């Protein structure tokens, strides 16, 4: 499959579709999201300023679209390595969520997301890919909820959705 295609549903059939076309049409497509945790804190990433949507916004540890026929856990491990240089974490699958969100510039994310959580040390070694990630930080969930309430425009739509609609599934607790 071509690198710029992602698995999306067209007329009920999973098909390889150009990534930009998927987002322009708001097609439902496969994705993964990872939350790396340490003692109740979550590792956030600030998306690189060169990203084609939501540049500079804070998001969960990492997320992406799988390659065609790529197992979702393999995709999650690959993306942790590609974006943050993180390797060797055990990923715990916590289920799927689906959301639809306007991400600006006429683009829509309509994702069926396999979500993974990993525990890591606060001193987790990282090597950020500047084409993907501008910065990272650890934050506890109550602080993150407060920050999103005070300045939602600084966070990706999907992170806001995860915390308001899927927190119990992802974190094992209601964070509201």
Question: Cβ neighbours of residue 129 under 8 Å, at least 6 residues apart?
Answer: 82, 83, 84, 85
User: Within 10 Å of residue 117's Cβ, how many Cβ atoms?
Assistant: 22
pLDDT 10s digit of each residue in the chain, 176 long? 446 899 999 999 999 999 999 999 999 999 999 999 999 999 999 999 999 899 999 999 999 999 989 999 999 999 999 999 999 999 999 999 999 999 998 999 999 999 999 999 878 999 999 999 999 999 999 999 999 999 999 999 999 999 999 999 999 876 65
Q: Which of 63, 75, 83, 109 is catalytic?
A: 63
Q: Is 109 a catalytic residue?
A: no
Dihedral sign from CA coordinates of 41, 59, 150, 96: negative
Indicate whether 176 belongs to any domain.
no
- Please report, for the domain that includes residue 47, its CATH number: 3.90.79.10
Number of domains composing the chain: 1
Host domain of residue 156: 5-170
Catalytic member of 38, 75, 111, 132: 111
119 is catalytic: no
């Amino acid at each position: 499959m071509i690198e710029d295609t992602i698995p999306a549903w067209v007329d009920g059939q999973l098909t390889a579709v150009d990534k930009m076309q998927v987002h322009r049409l708001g097609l439902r497509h496969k994705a993964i999201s990872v939350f790396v945790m340490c003692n109740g804190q979550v590792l956030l990433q600030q998306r690189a300023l060169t990203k084609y949507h939501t540049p500079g916004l804070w998001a969960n540890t990492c997320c992406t679209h799988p390659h065609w026929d790529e197992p979702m856990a393999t995709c999650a491990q690959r993306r942790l390595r590609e974006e943050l240089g993180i390797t060797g974490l055990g990923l715990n699958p916590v289920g799927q969520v689906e959301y639809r969100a306007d991400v600006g510039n006429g683009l829509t994310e309509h994702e069926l997301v396999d979500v993974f959580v990993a525990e890591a040390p606060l001193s987790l070694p990282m090597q950020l890919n500047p084409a993907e990630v501008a910065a990272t930080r650890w934050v506890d969930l109550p602080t993150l909820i407060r920050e999103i309430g005070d300045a939602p425009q600084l966070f990706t739509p999907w992170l806001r959705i995860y915390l308001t609609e899927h927190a119990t599934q992802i974190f094992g607790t209601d964070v509201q």
